[in-house]
Amino acid sequence: MKKISLFFLVILVYTFAFGQGKTDKLIFKLYEPGFYQNVILKDVNAVEEAHKPSNIKSYPVMDMTDMDLPNKVSLYKSVWHNPVISQGNAGSCWCYSTVSFFETEIYRQHNLKVKLSETYIIYWEYVEKAMEFVRTRGESLFSQGSEADANTRICKEYGLMPYSVYSGLIDGRKYPSHEKMFDEMNSFLISVKENNMWNEALVEQTIKNIMNKYIGEPPANFNVDGKDYTPMTYMNDYLKFNPDDYVSILSIKEKAYWQQAEYPVPDNWKHTSDYYNVPLDVFMDVFDEAIRKGYTVAIGGDVSEPGFSRNTQCAIVPSFDIPAEFINEDSRQMRFSNGSTTDDHGMHVVGYVDYKGQKWYLVKDSSSGSRNNDPNAPEFGYYFFSYDFIKLKMIDYMIHKDAVADILKKFSTIIR
């Protein structure tokens, strides 16, 4: 009997001891690098980096050391324009420069300060490009680039929108990032061409779906100052902005002067032929006079030059390129024809100064090249262009028709 009681006592003690113990739990812990990552891999990577060939290349630039340059914003007489804004890694300078120009024009005419959405115009320009790609069975160029007149074309069809209701910045982004979005759209269109899938409705919706994922979908309606608007009523009724008031002035010798012509560059993917082509002296006289009268222009041309400095932020034509007295329509055309002048950037000219006998212009910019200085400096996001640089390397500009009324009268098609 004692043996049986002892047996049950042992069982009872065992059951109590183990039955009352805590149950082990499974948890999830963030991975932390250990010795392998912190020591071994660092050693591996350090050796591999030391044996990599350097990808840093030198390139020819003008030495501006000790030059007395007007690279301070305070020197310039300028008109109202919104603070500089970065285009991030979006290849859309054509839009950022022209939208800035539109904002200044709206203020000039109506004393109304607004910040407009660049991404809204970019959104519909991509849709238009995709539709043209389908209509031409893949022959039309699909790229990130366009021209200033793309903005007025999109406005006529789709209107305008405030930045506050559609910035295109989602997922916490501070700067636009369109590279992956463009690659995905471009890959889709390549597939459309390869598989002969010329379904406009399908292509349009797919392109929109891709953009909606990366930059969000623009709203069809929005509220401004307590009133509801569509993009078209906002443009027409609130902004009182008329896209037909703007013209593009061009100066290339390969096209007949005093005739409207096509600007023959890839970014003019629409092949618009309503550029007003004028001789170079007229191009420059009208430009300079308009800026001095308080107009601004959206300008486009070449900034890949040895006299274009991202350190001083100044653009000069070096004498080792061409002496100033030899800059004319022939030297300009030669560079355009041989590809040393390209249409690679759009900017907004907002002011001027006469500095030690030379004409200079204040240029608002959206690219990264003008942002290699102190972010708090007044010069952050600006360039300073010499008269000669514009004369040689800037090919076209958009301007209000009133500023060029006299020269428009010389064309067979007169804007009234």
pLDDT in tens, 273-291: 999 999 999 999 999 999 9
* Banded pLDDT at 8 (limits 50, 70, 90): low
For the whole model, what pTM was predicted? Answer: 0.88
Q: Which helix (H) or strand (E) holds 388?
A: helix 387-393
> Does 2 score more than 80 pLDDT?
no
Dist. CA 160–CA 121, nearest whole Å: 8
* CB-CB contact of 395 with 336 (8 Å): yes
Mean pLDDT of 404-408: 95
> Does 10 score more than 60 pLDDT?
no
* Secondary structure letter of residue 39 according to DSSP: I
Annotated domain spans of the chain: 73-408
pLDDT of residue 416: 38
pLDDT in tens, 144-160: 999 999 999 999 999 99
Dist. CA 62–CA 305, nearest whole Å: 9
Q: Which of 315, 292, 291 is nearest to 304 (CA)?
A: 315
* Banded pLDDT at 414 (limits 50, 70, 90): very low
Q: Tokens 């390549």 belong to which residue?
A: 190
Of 15-24, 239-248, 316-325, 340-349, minimum mean pLDDT range = 15-24
Dist. CA 211–CA 407, nearest whole Å: 41
pLDDT in tens, 129-146: 999 999 999 999 999 999
* Non-local CB neighbours of 263 within 8 Å, separated by 6+ positions: 147, 248, 250, 252, 272, 275, 343, 395, 396
Other CB atoms within 10 Å distance of the CB of residue 326: 12
> Does 9 score more than 70 pLDDT?
no
pLDDT of residue 415: 43
pLDDT in tens, 84-111: 999 999 999 999 999 999 999 999 999 9
pLDDT of residue 16: 53
| DSSP symbols for 350-376 | EEEEEETTEEEEEEE--SSTT-SS-TT
Side-chain half-sphere of 129: how many Cα atoms within 13 Å?
24
Mean pLDDT of 408-413: 81
Mean pLDDT of 205-232: 98
pLDDT in tens, 371-399: 988 999 999 999 999 999 999 999 999 99
Three-state secondary structure call for residue 270: coil
> Does 259 score more than 80 pLDDT?
yes
One-letter identity of residue 243: P
pLDDT higher for 21 or 2?
A: 21
pLDDT higher for 202 or 30?
A: 202
CATH architecture entry for 73-408 = Alpha-Beta Complex (3.90)
Other CB atoms within 10 Å distance of the CB of residue 24: 5
> Does 295 score more than 60 pLDDT?
yes
Dist. CA 271–CA 30, nearest whole Å: 55
One-letter identity of residue 283: F
User: 301 — phi, psi (to 5°)?
Assistant: 175, -150
* Banded pLDDT at 29 (limits 50, 70, 90): confident
pLDDT of residue 30: 86
Please state, rounded to an integer, the average pLDDT across all residues of the chain: 93
Other CB atoms within 10 Å distance of the CB of residue 69: 18
* CB-CB contact of 144 with 344 (8 Å): no
Of 197-211, 257-271, 356-370, 399-413, minimum mean pLDDT range = 399-413
> Does 4 score more than 70 pLDDT?
no
Q: Which of 263, 235, 218 is nearest to 152 (CA)?
A: 235
Q: How far is CA 366 from CA 83, 85, 105, 289, in A?
A: 10, 6, 18, 25
Side-chain half-sphere of 207: how many Cα atoms within 13 Å?
26
* Non-local CB neighbours of 58 within 8 Å, separated by 6+ positions: none
